[in-house]
């Protein structure tokens, strides 16, 4: 647990913990975000086609999805502190290799390697919160750390084009590789040691060894799969839809995406706090999925009404489409015994990243076949509604804290 917050050591511990949590999430997903920002320069430099570049990005997500369940088991075995340090080390090495890449195949290998930290960052940070943060403080902190992905997108968009213009895209990746390595050192030096791995009850240890997870976690995994598909399809193809079908400029389309991601920094923190103290996780997730469906409905309306609907969609989407992760991760932290936090996180992340992989190609396939995105948005809208119904029925989610056996 955290030291008393009033003491100097307690404030330092809290600050270091918060910094490490945010940076682990930021850097865990940073490489694939960064590559999208520098895509034009990178593909020209390495002579890559758009199809090959898409395959490189997909490799990162697929490896992350496949590794996520295993990373949860590793986190439960070695503890959260070594796990977050390893996430940062992998992220740093991956970006250094990418910066030195002289062929598409080296880039492919580096992105696949970085997929390990993409699949590990949530189990590691969830376990860290479960072990070190007392109930009552977990919701807001979970929302803050989940906003790290959006922070990474903001930092990449704000800095990498400038660095690339002044030097090269390779220099930009080196800068962030150094930042990841520095964070690993900070975590190693200033983050206190983990608690002993055998402090749980006998029942907890047996359950952890057997890998038995509550039914609520498996339902949450299905929810994450469906919502991951919705998020992956919407996020990757929103700018193309805005430009190609609605006639928006490249700048305006980018600003819609930026608004959606930027607002999600605040809404993830908001939902994290609400779902711990005022709204049941199952109800919060149901509301968020319903809001995601509303956002997709606004995208459908943008075709006959006009591109102005996308600005409204960004506001609505930030409340559901891009913020449910904080509630889902908090539900894992509070919904299983601490000894299982890493493993349960890995299973849910597997569902989410599998959905991202599916969603990342589905709208493009529909557009290829029909020349429009309408059918894709309608399908994703239905998936969001199904997710809402699924969450509504998952009433046991997050209830383990009513029992004294947790932690």
Q: What is the DSSP annotation of 243-271?
A: HHTT---HHHHHHHHHHHHHHHHHHHHHH
Output the pLDDT for position 359. 85
The pLDDT score that the predictor gives to residue 382 is: 97
Q: Break the chain into its structural domains and give their ranges.
A: 1-197, 204-407
Which is nearest to 46 in space by CA: 92, 106, 96, 93? 106
| Distance from C-alpha of 189 to C-alpha of 373, rounded to nearest angstrom | 50
What 104-109 contacts at long range (C-beta under 8 Å, 24+ apart), as own/partner pairs, is 104/46, 104/47, 104/48, 104/52, 104/56, 107/42, 107/46, 107/48, 107/56, 108/55, 108/56, 108/59
Q: What dotted CATH number matches 1-197?
A: 1.20.1250.20
Residue 212: how many CA atoms within 13 Å on its side-chain side? 6
Compute the chain's Rg from CA coordinates: 20
Cα separation, 254 vs 298, in Å, equals 18
List C-alpha distances in Å: 98 to 59, 60, 85, 114, 345.
14, 12, 20, 10, 28
Measure the CA–CA gap between 115 and 108, rounded to whole angstroms: 11
By the 8 A CB rule, do 161 and 8 touch?
no
SS3 call for 8: helix
Grouped pLDDT means (10 residues each) for the chain, 407 residues: 50 81 92 81 82 78 90 90 96 95 92 93 91 84 87 82 88 95 93 65 49 84 95 83 84 80 86 85 94 96 92 92 89 83 87 87 83 92 96 77 39
Q: Quick one: pLDDT at residue 97?
A: 96
204-407 and 1-197 share a CATH fold: yes
Provide the pLDDT for residue 183: 95
What's the CATH architecture for 204-407?
Answer: Up-down Bundle (1.20)
pLDDT of residue 208: 52
Burial class (CB in 10 A: 0-12, 13-18, 19+), 328: buried
Smallest CA-to-CA distance from 212 within 331, 339, 351, 355 is with: 339
Please name the helix (run of DSSP H) or strand (run of DSSP E) that holds residue 132, with its range, or none: helix 104-132
């Amino acid at each position: 647990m955290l030291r008393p917050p009033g003491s100097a050591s307690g404030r330092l511990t809290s600050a270091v913990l918060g910094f490490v949590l945010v940076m682990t999430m930021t850097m865990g997903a940073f490489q694939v975000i960064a590559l999208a920002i520098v895509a034009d320069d990178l593909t020209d430099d390495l002579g890559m086609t758009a199809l090959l570049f898409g395959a490189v990005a997909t490799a990162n997500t697929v490896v992350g999805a496949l590794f996520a369940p295993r990373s949860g088991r590793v986190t439960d075995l070695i503890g959260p502190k070594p796990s977050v340090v390893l996430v940062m080390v992998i992220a740093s090495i991956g970006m250094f290799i990418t910066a030195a890449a002289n062929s598409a195949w080296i880039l492919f290998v580096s992105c696949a390697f970085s997929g390990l930290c993409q699949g590990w960052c949530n189990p590691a940070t969830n376990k860290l919160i479960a072990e070190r943060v007392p109930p009552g403080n977990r919701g807001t902190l979970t929302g803050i750390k989940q906003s790290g992905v959006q922070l990474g997108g903001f930092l990449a968009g704000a800095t990498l084009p400038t660095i690339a213009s002044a030097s090269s895209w390779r220099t930009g990746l080196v800068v962030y590789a150094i930042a990841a390595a520095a964070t690993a050192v900070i975590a190693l030096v200033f983050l206190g040691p983990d608690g002993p791995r055998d402090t749980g009850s006998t029942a907890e240890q047996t359950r952890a060894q057997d890998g038995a997870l509550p039914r609520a976690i498996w339902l949450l995994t299905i929810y994450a799969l469906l919502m991951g598909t919705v998020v992956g399809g919407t996020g990757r193809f929103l700018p193309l839809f805005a430009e190609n079908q609605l006639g928006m400029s490249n700048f305006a389309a980018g600003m819609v995406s930026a608004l959606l991601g930027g607002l999600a920094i605040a809404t993830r923190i908001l939902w994290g706090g609400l779902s711990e103290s005022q709204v049941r996780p199952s109800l919060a997730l149901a509301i968020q999925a319903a809001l995601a469906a509303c956002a997709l409905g606004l995208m459908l309306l943008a075709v006959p009404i006009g591109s102005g609907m996308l600005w409204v969609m960004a506001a609505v989407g930030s409340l559901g489409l891009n913020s449910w992760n904080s509630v889902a991760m908090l539900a894992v932290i509070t919904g299983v015994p601490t000894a299982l936090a890493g493993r349960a996180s890995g299973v849910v992340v597997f569902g989410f990243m599998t959905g991202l992989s599916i969603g990342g190609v589905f709208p493009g396939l529909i557009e290829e076949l029909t020349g429009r995105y309408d059918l894709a948005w309608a399908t994703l809208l239905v998936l969001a509604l199904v997710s809402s119904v699924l969450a509504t029925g998952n009433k046991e989610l997050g209830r383990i804290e009513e029992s004294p056996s947790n932690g």
